[in-house]
Structure 1
Amino acid sequence: MSVQIFEKYIKNRVWTKNYDESVPPEVEIRPSPLFSYLDRQAGENAGRTAYIYFGNKIPYKAVGEHSDRIAAALREWGIGKGDVVALYMPNTPAFPVIYYGALKLGAVVTPMNPLYTPREVAWQAKDANARVIFVADVLYKNIEEAAKMYQFDRIVVVELVEYMPALIKPLAKRRIKPPKVAYSGRVIPYKSLLSYSPTSYRASINPSEDLAALMYTGGTTGLPKGAEITHGNISANLQQLKPLYDVVKKKRGLDSLVMMGLLPWYHIYGQVTVMHYGIFDGATVVVMPRPDIEQLMKWVQKYNVQVLHGVPTLYNMIINHPRAGQFNLKSLAFCISGAAPLPVEVARKFEQLTGALLREGYGLTETAVVTHVNPLYGKVKPGSIGLPIPSTYAAIADPAKPELLPPNQVGEIVISGPQVFKGYHNRPEENAQAFFECCGLRWFRTGDMGYMDEEGYFYVVDRKKDLIKYKGYSVFSREIEEVLYQHPCVKEAAVIGVPHPEAGEIPKAFIVLRDECKGKVRPEDIIKWTEDKLAHYKRPRAVEFREELPKSAVGKILKRELKAEELRKLQEAAQKT
């Protein structure tokens, strides 16, 4: 059966018929060391602005030269091929400078979430065997504590004001109030590395085998896992994405793009689609160290930003911002939403507000990063994550067996392509569960439940672990959330399954109301409103209003925290009886 399905739908990639004009089914992938892209831009487009940081314009020549100076310092310290360099900082031009400096030596970069505690920093550093860590000055106290649990060879402190215009540095430093740092032979200021003579040394890289990054992911069910991402994985994804960006450039008559660098670069989504792609394609990136919706809209207007990558909560915050209508956002050509399902209502209202195209895409850390996106100008199906991108195979598989399923049948989304990672770092059991062979291809199991329609459009219905079992029925939380977002009073919504003695689990909705509805709508009103929109077994059995929902640094709603709260409540109630 799997072979028949593969031959009929997957082998010939039925979805390519719906690609935008000029997007090819297959891209000639030329695996390359990532640093070769920066070398090219620093040579061919030396004077072009690579980054705009609080008004300061930094050309590609300076980015390339500074990364050569960082490489020289690291090399003097004995860092070479296969050694791991950690980055613990928000977005700043220093991030790619350091990243590419390490890559030039064949070192592997492991970025860390700036929200990590000292314990979490030490844990990842130990698991990755990081030798050097670059830390933002505002986070230095955490590294002091982490260094008591894990011994770094060297700690390099990067001031957030580095690369800002000289005029605003003193004021910015007073506002940031970084802690005092006791510099020593082991704790070194980033500035001092820029005094090294640039090195022209480049490590010999096999893009298909040599790692560029160790990205930690999947901490929802135990400890995070390090995904081994090669130069070839990222290089392939950049080449797969280029035809999509080129469609926009051609439509707008643009030679180069201006992109918003808001998504955090420690996360694979922002790192590949903005930081790496910007260098690959010679784009200008407006760098934002932290989310600030009003600042974002000001800079879109000021710098004529054309590309914005974000998550659903970002677009939701823009459409609900009281000053959204006061800014000219018409320069935006297209926006992509990823990392979480995009509610149809949010997309509709954003496009209405800005006139920009907002398309839902899909990818994972393990696929470095994009695997699907909706056509920009072709047929768009609301609620779909779109079509597999060029040179990518995608299918629906039985969650428990190495078998492919036919169209319109719900199963697990699986991916095969040059962007799929090598495997999890030192996790042989996890790797055995994550991959299977079928029809001559190696498939990666995404953990997302979904289906493919007859035209090759894919849909995510839920994470495997978010499936709600109500009286034997399978209930997908995303379907309920899509309905709730249609309610005029619902600003944000998240649905989880809560254990129930008779039903097994019941769907419970957590809702943030719009300001004008607070005190005027009751939970039972919301439940009643869903009655003619959802089958009886899909309706939320409980609704709780919140002032805000827990979110990750990327802006994803953290359902696991809501689940943990509910489980604690149940345990406490059980202890009292």
Structure 2
Amino acid sequence: MSSKEVFEKYIKTRPWVKNYDEGVPPDVEIKPEPLYVYLDRSAAYGDRPAYIYFGGKVKYGVLADHSDRVAKALREAGVSKGDVVAIYMPNHPAYAVAFYAALKIGAVVTPMNPLYTPGEVVRQARDSSAKVLFTADVLYDKAVKAFEEYKFEKVYVAEMTEYMPKWLKPLARRQIRPPKVRYGGVFQRYVDLLKYERETGRAPIRPEEDLAALMYTGGTTGVPKGAEITHANISANLQQLKPFYDVVRRAKGMPPDKPMVLVGVLPWYHIYGQVTVMHYAIFEGHTVLVYPRFDMRRVLSDIAKYRASVFHGVPTIYNVMIHSPDARRYDLRSLAFCISGSAPLPVEVAKKFEELTGAPLREGYGMTETAVVTHLNPLLNGKHKPGSIGLPIPSTYAAVADLDKPELLPPGQTGELVISGPQVMKGYHNKPEENAEAFFECCGLRWFRTGDIAYMDEEGYFYIVDRKKDMIKYKGYSVFSREIEEVLYQHPCVKEAAVIGVPDPDAGEIPKAYIVLKDECKGKVSAGDIIGWASERLAPYKRPRLVEFRDDLPKTAVGKILKRALREEAARRS
């Protein structure tokens, strides 16, 4: 069957829409918009809380005002349209302030994982040509080391206690114990930016061309690449997600003008938390419970106290919650729906979580490159298939393609999941060869190759049967073996290295390194030495947890290391 025949019979007809929740349309009328318009609109909510941060309420009027003042400060610092602003901090109200301030003057935001080492910050800053950096006081020492290698024009430092209630700040400072920040010159206080006059102008934005963010991902090869995410990509996905919220609100009898409370445990440096929580809340004027890190007791207490409605998380978080004795001490019945992404959701975890809360927990799917959601299981009355990533969301096409050729495959056949929709990124930053491999044209649509191996059933439900080559899922984080291997190869005693993910009941997978030592080092280097070496050069979630020394590694006839053989061996041992 030709691609055209497959498309006409199985894809163009979108068999999945028959299984949508009642009220979710096949298509939404998407209006590409600059993202800053959503905050400008939500500013009208005035005293409505945008964020609740350790009990401190940041109102929409304040959020809009502060982002205007920071926008003015950035403009006067020489940041203009197209310049890149890096944000290197945990979830915090200042994060959203800085993000939207940059958008208002047409700058591009590149978020950085707060667990990054200085070297990793430098690498992303160089590739993105970041001009200024927003960071937190707890990361000051790492920011200083990064600045020694990459000269940001300005580094703005926000205190983690900013936006907390006044009475809590002294206690929080004693608990956090941030390093002493030396201000002056390049390093400036975030709060000083709030003294500027408000920026009243807005940069002219072409939503489908101009970038809102450079989101770094390992991509299909494991080499970090910047995904060029336009204003239109994110605004489209927000509009595509809205029908799901509307359906639940109607079913629960929630007034359309009453804000929902979202649990903000997902990190905003990651596209999943950034779009579904930070941006979506501003898009509709909802309230977010903000957490710099996952704190089980605080999250449970806040859900009960603030009557939270929506929880976006990853399987490891839900798994921890269902096994926590504290979970049964709190009333969690306010939750209307919960979504799991970033890793496969075990059916038993979903079942037990729903028993605990009474809320549906559904698996979805998305990628950094698709900004972010492409698939979701029905939340209420649509058919839910446990183990499936669900159905393509409105105004999205999905298919399965041949692994080697730009040909679409019929239902039941396994191949590579491909996506076509308005949320798909513009392309990889300065990577023409990777773009040529990642995209292809077929049947009048531009398709993005996800790198995930999948199949579609006759009803339009998709199933992931294998992950991206060499990618490890550690507690929801995407860890790419090649990046770890490159660090290991820098060790003076390492001759060969291969890293795979091995199953772990708590983390999902953990990185395991197979090492061949140089002859002169055999018997002189321990597994602890290798792990320590990597720990100094990689973020905590990327570090190998296990090391096995070998005399040689399995290889193909042309000398390529066979990781498949290592995985099969590890599976036999488990």
TM-score normalised over the length of structure 2: 0.83
The match for 2:559 is none
User: Residue deviations 1:328-359, cap 9 Å, x none?
Assistant: 11011100000111011111111111111100
Contact 2:412-2:456 at 8 Å conserved across structures: yes
| Superposition RMSD in Å | 2.5
**Would you say 1:458 and 2:458 are equivalent positions?**
no
Q: CA deviation at 1:569?
A: 2.7
The match for 2:427 is 423
Q: How does 1:484-503 map to 2 (within 5 A)?
A: none
User: Residue deviations 1:261-297, cap 9 Å, x none?
Assistant: 1100000000000000000011010101101112111
Q: How does 1:385-396 map to 2 (within 5 A)?
A: 385-396=389-400
Q: How does 1:426-441 map to 2 (within 5 A)?
A: 426-441=430-445
Q: Matched residue of 1:323: which SS? A: helix
- Check 1:211–1:13 CA distance in 2 against 1; reply closer, same or farther (3 A cut): same
The match for 1:268 is 271
Q: How does 1:65-144 map to 2 (within 5 A)?
A: 65-144=65-144
Distance 2:428 2:241 in 1: 24
1:296 corresponds, among 296, 299, 310, to: 299
Q: CA deviation at 1:256?
A: 2.2
The match for 2:354 is 351
- Check 1:466–1:139 CA distance in 2 against 1; reply closer, same or farther (3 A cut): closer
The match for 2:334 is 331
- Check 1:223–1:391 CA distance in 2 against 1; reply closer, same or farther (3 A cut): same
Contact 2:69-2:197 at 8 Å conserved across structures: yes
The AA in structure 1 aligned to 2:39 is: L
**Would you say 1:445 and 2:436 are equivalent positions?**
no
User: Residue deviations 1:222-272, cap 9 Å, x none?
Assistant: 431000000000000000000011111111222321101110000000000
Q: Matched residue of 1:465: which SS? A: coil
Q: How does 1:158-237 map to 2 (within 5 A)?
A: 158-218=158-218, 221-237=221-237
**Would you say 1:153 and 2:145 are equivalent positions?**
no
Contact 2:53-2:93 at 8 Å conserved across structures: yes
The match for 2:365 is 362
The AA in structure 2 aligned to 1:120 is: E
Contact 1:31-1:208 at 8 Å conserved across structures: yes
Distance 1:394 1:59 in 2: 39
- Check 1:374–1:219 CA distance in 2 against 1; reply closer, same or farther (3 A cut): closer
- Check 1:21–1:169 CA distance in 2 against 1; reply closer, same or farther (3 A cut): same
Contact 1:220-1:560 at 8 Å conserved across structures: no
Distance 2:148 2:502 in 1: 42
Q: Matched residue of 2:278: which SS? A: helix
The match for 2:550 is 570
Distance 1:391 1:161 in 2: 42
Distance 2:307 2:140 in 1: 35
Contact 2:222-2:470 at 8 Å conserved across structures: no
Distance 1:219 1:451 in 2: 21
Distance 1:27 1:136 in 2: 39
1:404 corresponds, among 399, 408, 412, to: 408
- Check 1:511–1:87 CA distance in 2 against 1; reply closer, same or farther (3 A cut): closer
- Check 1:118–1:402 CA distance in 2 against 1; reply closer, same or farther (3 A cut): same
The match for 2:29 is 28
Give 5+ residue unaligned stretches, structure 1.
Answer: 468-476, 479-493, 497-504, 515-556
Contact 1:249-1:256 at 8 Å conserved across structures: no
The match for 1:537 is none
The match for 2:418 is 414
Q: CA deviation at 1:508?
A: 9.2
Q: CA deviation at 1:571?
A: 4.7
The AA in structure 1 aligned to 2:425 is: F
Contact 1:268-1:369 at 8 Å conserved across structures: yes
TM-score normalised over the length of structure 1: 0.83
Contact 2:316-2:506 at 8 Å conserved across structures: no
Q: Matched residue of 2:549: which SS? A: helix
- Check 1:439–1:282 CA distance in 2 against 1; reply closer, same or farther (3 A cut): same
- Check 1:126–1:466 CA distance in 2 against 1; reply closer, same or farther (3 A cut): closer
Contact 2:220-2:468 at 8 Å conserved across structures: no
Q: Matched residue of 1:148: which SS? A: helix
Contact 1:333-1:356 at 8 Å conserved across structures: yes
Distance 1:463 1:167 in 2: 48
Distance 2:277 2:410 in 1: 35
Contact 1:249-1:257 at 8 Å conserved across structures: no
Distance 1:382 1:299 in 2: 29
Q: CA deviation at 1:560?
A: 9.2
Q: Matched residue of 2:149: which SS? A: coil
Contact 1:395-1:414 at 8 Å conserved across structures: yes
The AA in structure 2 aligned to 1:454 is: E
Distance 1:508 1:274 in 2: 29
Q: CA deviation at 1:509?
A: 5.7
- Check 1:183–1:301 CA distance in 2 against 1; reply closer, same or farther (3 A cut): same
The match for 2:288 is 285
- Check 1:152–1:423 CA distance in 2 against 1; reply closer, same or farther (3 A cut): same
- Check 1:226–1:465 CA distance in 2 against 1; reply closer, same or farther (3 A cut): same
The match for 2:42 is 41
Distance 1:512 1:416 in 2: 35
- Check 1:454–1:559 CA distance in 2 against 1; reply closer, same or farther (3 A cut): farther
- Check 1:392–1:571 CA distance in 2 against 1; reply closer, same or farther (3 A cut): farther
The match for 2:309 is 306
The match for 1:521 is none
Contact 2:363-2:390 at 8 Å conserved across structures: yes
The match for 1:15 is 16
Q: CA deviation at 1:176?
A: 0.8
Distance 1:117 1:197 in 2: 35
Distance 1:510 1:22 in 2: 40
The AA in structure 2 aligned to 1:144 is: V
Distance 1:572 1:42 in 2: 62
Distance 2:311 2:13 in 1: 32
User: Residue deviations 1:102-133, cap 9 Å, x none?
Assistant: 00000000000000000000110111000100
Contact 2:220-2:451 at 8 Å conserved across structures: no
The AA in structure 2 aligned to 1:306 is: S
The AA in structure 1 aligned to 2:130 is: A
Contact 1:309-1:335 at 8 Å conserved across structures: yes
The AA in structure 2 aligned to 1:461 is: V
Q: CA deviation at 1:194?
A: 0.3
Q: Matched residue of 2:250: which SS? A: helix
Distance 1:338 1:4 in 2: 32
Distance 1:91 1:139 in 2: 13
- Check 1:434–1:106 CA distance in 2 against 1; reply closer, same or farther (3 A cut): same
User: Residue deviations 1:386-439, cap 9 Å, x none?
Assistant: 000000000000011000000011111000000000000011111111001111
Contact 1:380-1:386 at 8 Å conserved across structures: yes
Q: CA deviation at 1:185?
A: 2.3
Distance 1:312 1:435 in 2: 30
The match for 2:528 is none
